[in-house]
Amino acid sequence: MASYSTNEFKGGLKIMLDGDPCAIIENEFVKPGKGQAFNRVRIRNLKTGRVVEKTFKSGDTVEAADVVDTPLQYLYTDGEHWYFMHPDSFEQLTADPNAMGDAAKWVKEQDLCNVTLWNGQPLTVDAPNFVVLKILETDPGMRGDTSSGGGKPATLETGAVVRVPLFVQTGELIRVDTRTGAYVSRVKDE
């Protein structure tokens, strides 16, 4: 089984901790001049997203987590699972709702997503940073009233609801930043 020594610790390294895959955020080397060295590490649990701190004795080894990031193409969902395909090998992989998280709100068939695999299975799915989606429904809004700035809710084709400016209408395509859920711009239909 692959393992890492504390002296290989650095940001981004993936290790197993208490049975969960984790990523090292920050590694601080602490050593009294004449004494025991330690690594104080901030770690993100990749399953839960929680950040914890942990001290290791320098020189100790920890099990490596078989975690890789790979782009996968989203195919479809049956409501329970989300199906993805590797663009080169055409291998199909299945993500559960836990792994999908927020990405379920944004992805559309054919979208290329960054998927973190743990032991070959999707652990987390990131939607593309920007997606273009059609507005299924939004109030007509008042023409000319562009000053209120408050906007209005719009339901998108994936079911996500975002706030859009009043002048944006049902049937239009908009660009959304999936990291914040914010409307970016209208997109001309090609």
Partner 1 sequence: MSPASRTSDSEDWRPLAGREQLLRRAQLLQGVRGFFLAHSVLEVETPLLGHHTNPDPALESWSVCDPGHGQGKGGAQFLQTSPEFAMKRLLAAGSGPIFQICKAFRGGERGRRHNPEFTLLEWYRPGYSYHRLMDEVAALIRILQADPSLVDERLSYAELFGGRLGVDPHRAEPGELQCVALAQGVSGAEDLALSRDGWLDLLMSHCLEAQLGRGRLCFVYDYPPSQAALARVRDGTPAVAERFELYWEGMELANGFQELTDATEQRRRFLNDQQRRASAGQAPHPIDERFLRALESGMPECAGVALGLDRLLMVMSGTAHLDEVLAFPWERA
Binding site for partner 1 (CB under 8 A): 7, 10-11, 28-38, 40, 52-58
User: Which residues are CB-contacts of 34 (< 8 A; sequence separation ≥ 6)?
Assistant: none
Q: Report the residue number, 7 or 73, with the smaller CB distance to partner 1.
A: 7
Distance between start and end Cα atoms, the chain: 52
| Minimum distance from residue 44 beta carbon to partner 1 (Å) | 14
* CB-nearer residue toward partner 1: 42 or 81: 42
Q: Shortest distance, CB of residue 181 to partner 1, whole angstroms?
A: 30
Q: Are 30 and 80 in contact (CB under 8 A)?
A: no
Torsions phi, psi of 79, nearest 5?
Answer: 90, -25
- What type of residue sits at position 105? K
Alpha helices in the chain (DSSP H): 97-100
- Taking the complex as a whole, how short is the minimal distance between the CB of residue 64 and partner 1, in angstroms? 18
Rounded CA gap, 30 and 125, in Å? 35
CB-facing half-sphere around the CA of 55: CA atoms within 13 A: 6
Q: In angstroms, give the least distance from the CB of 20 to partner 1.
A: 15
Residue number with CB closer to partner 1 (34 or 143): 34
